[in-house]
Structure 1
Amino acid sequence: MNEVKNSIEQKYNKWIWVLSIAIPLVVAILFGVNLRKLGYDVQPLSFLPPIYATINGLTAVVLVVAVWAIKNGKRNLHENLMKFAILLSVLFLGMYVAYHMTSDSTKFGGEGAIKYIYYFILITHILLSVIIIPFVLITYVKALSQRFDRHKKIAKITFPMWLYVAVTGVIVYVMISPYYVH
């Protein structure tokens, strides 16, 4: 039985590494591509930031409810909520990239201490959003391979990081939203 669990984990390990490197790399490259500046006639997708901020907020709620579910013995609910949280994160990422490929970057206009708070939150949000990718994937694969002892151990690290990324995504949006050009 352990051989089957090990083979499931080994099967996915290379994908975890590939995705953990490829996703941030592709996002960074696409973040620097502005289709309008390249001469393409595309409309700015300026309606997306409040949508993907809402998705971040919903992700945070889903994560908290998923932890509540597993602590109350509702394993199927927990599993479905975690799959939904991953889907929400993928949707967020797609919208985030689409927005930045069609719109000019918005500069934060606050001054003084609030500026430093904003940049601290933004930088930690960005760094952890990259770091969280392998943690989410490893945690998911541990559950998939029914290594629940290991899943639980890494989930105790993954959950607070992912929750921080989701919540700070909303905070960053709220702080920068007055400076969006409409």
Structure 2
Amino acid sequence: MENNSLEKKFNTFIIAVSIIIPVAVAILFGVKLKDFGYNVEPLSFLPPIYATTNGITAVLLIAAVVAIKNGKRKLHERLMTSAIALSVAFLVMYVAYHMTSDSTKFGGEGIIRYVYFFILVTHIVLSIAIIPMVLITFVRALAGNFDRHKKIAKITFPIWLYVAVTGVVVYLMISPYYVY
């Protein structure tokens, strides 16, 4: 009973964060600091760093699944906490880059353009959907509701992994078009 109580305490937080983050990112994505009179250098060095962050997140997610399957719960917990921290770091860098730099347009043509936009759109949509899923999965583990944690983790893991991997793919596909 106590475990469900802990989950209920976090429900409002999860809902709020799941709405606030995408809305804030959408708003901040359109904000350019130079338009407000701030003389800031574009943070053009960030895209390869945040793409690497996505890649490391993917590796941590896989390592965490291997750890839990081998009964290493504490290692699993540390890996998942690190994956969450890296995802937050990615988000901060992503927003900082877009607040200081103009967006890069994809220059590919033909079928590759459709492939790129399919990957990009699914990446964006699933990156929004994954926020509450990660938080719910995390809170269930925190509450010790491991049966319920495991059920949602089976759905959360492949989606989060897809978002992390496609973040790298999107970067690799658009990187030839960056202006440094």
The answer for the alignment partner of 1:82 in structure 2 is 80
The answer for the alignment partner of 1:46 in structure 2 is 44
The answer for the alignment partner of 2:91 in structure 1 is 93
The answer for the alignment partner of 2:4 in structure 1 is 6
The answer for the alignment partner of 2:55 in structure 1 is 57
Shift of 1:101: 0.1
**Which structure 1 residue ranges, 5 or more long, are not aligned?**
none
For residue 49 of structure 1, what is the amino acid of its counterpart?
Answer: P
Question: Aligned match of 2:33 in 32, 35, 50?
Answer: 35
Shift of 1:38: 2.8
Question: Aligned match of 1:153 in 151, 154, 160?
Answer: 151
- 1:33-61 Cα offsets, whole Å, 9 max, x none, are 01123321000000000000000000000
Which aligned runs of 4 or more in structure 1 are off by greater than 4 angstroms? Answer: none
The answer for the alignment partner of 1:136 in structure 2 is 134
- 1:142-182 Cα offsets, whole Å, 9 max, x none, are 10110000000000000000000000000000000000001
For residue 44 of structure 2, what is the amino acid of its counterpart?
Answer: S
CA RMSD across the alignment: 0.5
- SS of alignment partner, residue 124 of structure 1: helix
Shift of 1:125: 0.2
- SS of alignment partner, residue 36 of structure 1: helix
Q: How many residues align?
A: 180
Question: Aligned match of 1:165 in 138, 163, 166?
Answer: 163
Please give the TM-score of this superposition, normalised by the length of structure 1: 0.98
- SS of alignment partner, residue 97 of structure 2: helix
Query: How far apart in 2 are the matches of 1:5 and 1:147?
Result: 6
Question: Identical aligned pairs, as a percentage?
Answer: 72
Shift of 1:79: 0.4
